[in-house]
Amino acid sequence: MTTFGGLGGADAGRPPDPEPQPSPADDALLAELRAAASRWDPPPALLGDFLPALVTWRDPDAELAALVADSRELAGAVRGGQQEVLLRFEAPPFAITFEASPDGSGQYRVIGHIEPGGPGVVQVLQGEPGPKERDLLVPCDQWGRFEAYPVAPGPVSLRLTPEAGQPVRTAWVVL
């Protein structure tokens, strides 16, 4: 009998083959490859900021909003030091637009707008994910406006919890 993908026929009821175990030579080769990759192609420095966010992102109730506009990319030039940043995220039916402006003391003031407008709460997550004292909870008014201060430079994500509708969370960005 011909089988497709090992289903049915002579293979039915037979346990799957165990996974092959790596030999000491395989382990040595993998260690050599890891060392070469670390030396010749190290991960970007900012990966250390984003990796914990990626690994520990566990907010299954929130829709993840994608970054669709970043003023730093539109400017076409990179300036040194802190600068104003305008970002837009979308997760239909919501769009979150906010501006982060440095205040001169190293902190940012975040002023934003949610479309469509409506009351709710915006949580500004700062640094590595997880509950922290420096995360901010700010109200979102009936027109969808919100303001958060102080926001530290570094990785930031916003979580919108509207009065009506599903929560939305932005991807992590670095201010």
Average pLDDT, the chain: 80
DSSP per-residue codes, 93-157: TEEEEEEEEE-SSS-EEEEEEEES---EEEEEEESSSS--TT-EEEEE-TTSEEEEEEE-SSEEE
Give residue 3's pLDDT. 46
Rounded Cα distance between 150 and 158, Å, is: 14
- Whether residue 70 lies inside any domain: the answer is yes
Cα-Cα-Cα-Cα dihedral of 78, 80, 84, 89, to 10°?
50
Average pLDDT over residues 13-19: 71
What the block records as the tokens of 141 is: 């008014």
CA-based torsion, 164, 127, 60, 71: positive or negative: positive
The share of the chain scoring above pLDDT 90, in percent, equals 31
For residue 4, pLDDT over 70 is answered with: no
| Prediction pTM value | 0.62
Rounded Cα distance between 150 and 163, Å, is: 25
* Count of domains observed in the chain: 1
- Whether residue 105 lies inside any domain: the answer is yes
For residue 10, pLDDT over 70 is answered with: no
For residue 1, pLDDT over 60 is answered with: no
- Domain enclosing residue 73, as ranges: 47-174
Rounded Cα distance between 154 and 175, Å, is: 5
- Whether residue 3 lies inside any domain: the answer is no
Among the ranges given (34-43, 57-66, 161-170), the one the predictor scored with the smallest mean pLDDT: 57-66
Give residue 11's pLDDT. 57
Contacts of range 96-103, beta carbons closer than 8 Å, 24 or more positions apart: 96/65, 96/158, 96/160, 96/168, 96/170, 98/158, 100/151, 100/156, 100/175, 102/153, 103/149, 103/150
Give residue 33's pLDDT. 87
- Whether residue 20 lies inside any domain: the answer is no
